[in-house]
Structure 1
Amino acid sequence: MPEDLTLNYARAYGRRAGFGRRPALVLIDFAMAYYDPGCPLYAGEGAETALASALRLREAAHRTGVPVVLTRVTYSPGGVEGGRFWDKAAPLSCFVAGEATAGWAPGLEPREGEIVVSKHYPSAFFGTALAPMLTRLGIDNAILTGLTTSGCVRASCVDAMSHGFLATVVGDACGDRHPDPHRANLFDMDAKYADVVGEAEMLEHLATLAPRRAGAMG
């Protein structure tokens, strides 16, 4: 009989990477496009619950001086920066600069001291300065939240690990258009690239960190 897949995955991929010593919280692409019912990227309840969770994590990060990074997708008209990604994914036109759907989700306007990263491709790391910025701050753990789980969160997760960061994905603070790709991608990221944790576990972890000045080294 074939081995039960749950046992197979537990045996092959059951290792935990841990939180590391110095985390940064990354909020990936919480844009109005996912909250506008008239937009082809509208993600409904999955986006709403993810944002609520991410906002609570953001407050906890600020209380302990954990750096907060907000990413956004942005293009000029015609999307030349997006290359073949633009050619393939028609809804990227929602992220042309100046479009209402390209704006920040409600409650997520950048605050003083937060890092804003503009990107053109799925990963928050590809073609951006995010990795060297985090390295400069002494970060060893990228805490990932955002939209969508199967798209930009997954791509950022793989690249975070590939750049040498411990990747932690907060499942409650990620969302997708449908629960099936959301669950499947959380499962796969947890198996191979990251530790996937719940909001409560992450809040408990953040509460253990001593308050410190954001951006301090070490």
Structure 2
Amino acid sequence: MTRALLLVDIQLDYFPGGAFPLAEPEAAAVAARTVLDSFRESGELVVHIFHVATAPDATFFVPETPGIGFHPAVAPLDGETTLEKHQPNSFIDTGLETVLREAGVTELVIVGMMSSMCIDSTTRAAHELGFVCTVVSDACAAPDLTLGETTVPGASVHAAFMAALDGSFATVTPSASLV
């Protein structure tokens, strides 16, 4: 199998000082960097995906703001593929599937943010397109979520989404088991 690494939305707005900080994004970025280094060393395809909001009332990932920038821990190198997206699913209107198919990729390793939105949506779509998926659990992060009077801590949101993906749509594993 030919693998590729997808780094999804590891952008400054998700970190402290950003417009929409997640729970423990720094630890996720460190784990993502470990996986990224492994892919760079092996010469496997690396694809960086970043979100730019298109809604006029968007509160984060607003065009032309520093928050849309890549976190320095996982910033692309010259020659690495970068794709802009506007939807949670990284395959919608990005050319991602074409990039992967042209490279002969059959297996995806997915890291990034948010576990409960773009990682979930991208992983499910990749699975439906026939890719074998691995999600690196400690290289992803989620926000606290609220429904009515209940607030669910980001760590619990993350765990629930990883558990939902594992086995049905992906193999979910920590970075230490992958690298």
> TM-score, normalising length from structure 2?
0.89
Partner of 2:22: 43
Q: 2:12–2:18: 8 Å Cα contact kept in structure 1?
A: no
Partner of 2:50: 72
Cα deviation, 1:129-149, whole Å, max 9, x if unaligned, reads 001110100000010000010
- Alpha-carbon offset, residue 109 of structure 1: 2.2
Alignment partners' CA distance in 2, 1:129 and 1:38: 28
- Alpha-carbon offset, residue 195 of structure 1: 0.7
Q: 2:116–2:158: 8 Å Cα contact kept in structure 1?
A: yes
Task: Spell out the pairing of 1:1-218 with structure 2 (5 A cutoff).
Answer: 21-37=1-17, 39=19, 41-45=20-24, 47-75=25-53, 79=54, 86=55, 92-177=58-143, 178-203=154-179
The gaps in structure 2 that reach 5 residues or longer are 144-153
Identify the structure with the greater strand proportion. 2
The gaps in structure 1 that reach 5 residues or longer are 1-20, 80-85, 204-218
Alignment partners' CA distance in 2, 1:124 and 1:24: 14
What SS does structure 1 have at the residue aligned with 2:112?
strand
- Alpha-carbon offset, residue 96 of structure 1: 2.2
Q: 1:36–1:101: 8 Å Cα contact kept in structure 2?
A: no
Superposed structure 1 runs of 4+ greater than 3 Å apart: none
Cα deviation, 1:94-121, whole Å, max 9, x if unaligned, reads 2122111111112222102211010000
Alignment partners' CA distance in 2, 1:124 and 1:146: 12
Partner of 2:147: none
Alignment partners' CA distance in 2, 1:94 and 1:167: 28
Moved more, 116-125 or 30-39: 30-39
Alignment partners' CA distance in 2, 1:123 and 1:197: 21
Q: CA RMSD in A?
A: 1.5
Alignment partners' CA distance in 1, 2:75 and 2:30: 14
Alignment partners' CA distance in 1, 2:12 and 2:107: 28
What SS does structure 2 have at the residue aligned with 1:95?
coil
Cα deviation, 1:41-93, whole Å, max 9, x if unaligned, reads 11142x11110000111111011111111000124xxx2xxxxxx38xx5x44
- Alpha-carbon offset, residue 123 of structure 1: 1.1
Q: Which amino acid aligns with 1:116?
A: T
Aligned length: 169
Alignment partners' CA distance in 1, 2:51 and 2:29: 17
Alignment partners' CA distance in 2, 1:107 and 1:37: 16
* Paired-residue identity, %: 27
Q: 2:88–2:118: 8 Å Cα contact kept in structure 1?
A: yes
> TM-score, normalising length from structure 1?
0.74
What SS does structure 2 have at the residue aligned with 1:107?
helix
Alignment partners' CA distance in 2, 1:167 and 1:196: 9
Alignment partners' CA distance in 2, 1:35 and 1:138: 34
